[in-house]
Amino acid sequence: MYTIQLTVESVAQQMALFGPHDDHVRIIERALSVTINARNSIIEISGEDENAVNDAGRVLDSLKQVYKKDELINPDMVHRMVDLVESGNVRDGLEAMDDVVVLTHTGKPIKCKTIGQKNLVDALEKTSVTVCIGPAGTGKTFLAVAQAVAEFKLGEIERIIMSRPAIEAGEERLGFLPGDLAQKVDPYLRPLYDALNDILGAETARKFQEKGIIEIAPLAYMRGRTLSNARIIIDESQNASLQTLKMALTRLGEGSKMVLTGDVTQIDLPKATTSGLQKVATILKSVEGVSIVHLNNRDVVRNKIVRDIIKAFEKEENRQQEKAVQMERRAKGNHSVRTQK
């Protein structure tokens, strides 16, 4: 049995590390097959595997640093710290939490929670066009809106323009929905409104829209415009064709920046229409002033179950791809045999 000890600095810190009903240390114990106990200001970690015990110590040390940053320690944070320790990225992960993107209307700081999110914010700050591809729950849209609000507050832009394909199954079906334009498209733009309301407050967001400082519109209505001194956010870009995304990208005017966000595993276009997001990332990857950011399940900041669901789908998709490759090889082998005969 291998054992190490750590010291906590206060009862409050120890309570935060252990969590209600010791939920946090139970997560670490299950993940690393160790036992964690506390006696006064000493935390004792024991286990059969020396590496696992040391990893558990690093997780708790990292959580102590998170506590000192006044960040909330909850089960999802503990799971992320375990992942960071196992991947050897603790230092980068903790540094990612340092920078404040913007303050909300209540004074709450919006910070990155993962290395991938930090890479996204860095790209948004430094390049004119950012293409961000990642699964649900990675904060793509929210951080893009937060960065846009930060740029507006700093006077770097005059307008925020947010758009997405109006209907997940293809914008050409818009006319079949009841109501006027606003009633038709509002349900599909709701995630953008939600992000704005969280950051600016509903009243300020409404006033900015009335003044034209913030514009939210379906992607199809950007055609023919030149957008200057603005931050343009194209959300759910996986549901737009290559030609539509080319149209959007060529709207950029002087002093403007654009970000395309999307999840290429959740494409809702009709079968006859091909998503253009991944193709755009390939075409633009060597263009100066363009950043391509890929997020993955490690960047999911929703409930841990979302990360596990994504992992399960990725595993099944990989299995199906391997199966397809094997079937193709067999077919080629059978064809070769028949040709020889």
Question: Is the pLDDT score of 180 beyond 70?
Answer: no
Q: Which residue has the higher pLDDT, 137 or 233?
A: 233
Domains of the chain: which residue ranges? 2-95, 113-302, 305-341
- pLDDT the model gives residue 308: 75
- pLDDT the model gives residue 310: 72
- pLDDT the model gives residue 148: 96
What does the angle CA 295 – CA 126 – CA 99 come to, to the nearest 5 degrees? 70
Q: Quote the strand ranges of 189-283, DSSP E.
A: 214-218, 230-234, 257-262
One of 3.40.50.720, 3.40.50.300, 3.50.50.60, 2.60.40.3080 is the CATH number of 113-302, namely 3.40.50.300
* Residue 131 CA neighbour count, 13 Å, CB half: 23
Going by pLDDT thresholds of 50, 70 and 90, the confidence category of residue 149 is very high
| Residue in the block written with tokens 């603790």 | 90
pLDDT digits (tens, 9 = 90+) for 309-322: 877 877 887 788 78
Mean of the pLDDT values across residues 173-193?
63
Mean of the pLDDT values across residues 242-252?
93
pLDDT digits (tens, 9 = 90+) for 212-242: 999 988 888 888 888 999 999 999 999 999 9
Residues in the chain: 341
CATH no. of 2-95: 3.30.1370.10
Q: Which residue has the higher pLDDT, 235 or 268?
A: 235
Going by pLDDT thresholds of 50, 70 and 90, the confidence category of residue 184 is low
Q: How far is CA 49 from the centre of its chain?
A: 34
- pLDDT the model gives residue 172: 42
Question: Is the pLDDT score of 168 beyond 60?
Answer: no
Question: Is the pLDDT score of 170 beyond 50?
Answer: no
pLDDT digits (tens, 9 = 90+) for 59-106: 999 999 999 988 889 998 999 899 899 988 899 999 988 889 999 999
Residue type for 318, please?
A: N
- pLDDT the model gives residue 103: 94
Q: Which residue has the higher pLDDT, 335 or 291?
A: 291
Going by pLDDT thresholds of 50, 70 and 90, the confidence category of residue 178 is low
Q: Is 66 exposed, middle or buried (0-12, 13-18, 19+ CB in 10 A)?
A: buried
| Fold: same for 2-95 and 113-302 | no
> Kind and range of the H or E element at 208?
helix 202-210
pLDDT digits (tens, 9 = 90+) for 27-58: 999 999 999 999 889 999 999 999 999 999 99
* Mean of pLDDT over the chain: 87
Going by pLDDT thresholds of 50, 70 and 90, the confidence category of residue 337 is low
pTM recorded for the entire structure: 0.80
Question: Is the pLDDT score of 10 beyond 90?
Answer: yes
Q: DSSP code of 164?
A: E
Mean of the pLDDT values across residues 141-155?
96
Question: Is the pLDDT score of 176 beyond 70?
Answer: no
Q: Which residue has the higher pLDDT, 164 or 57?
A: 57
- pLDDT the model gives residue 171: 44
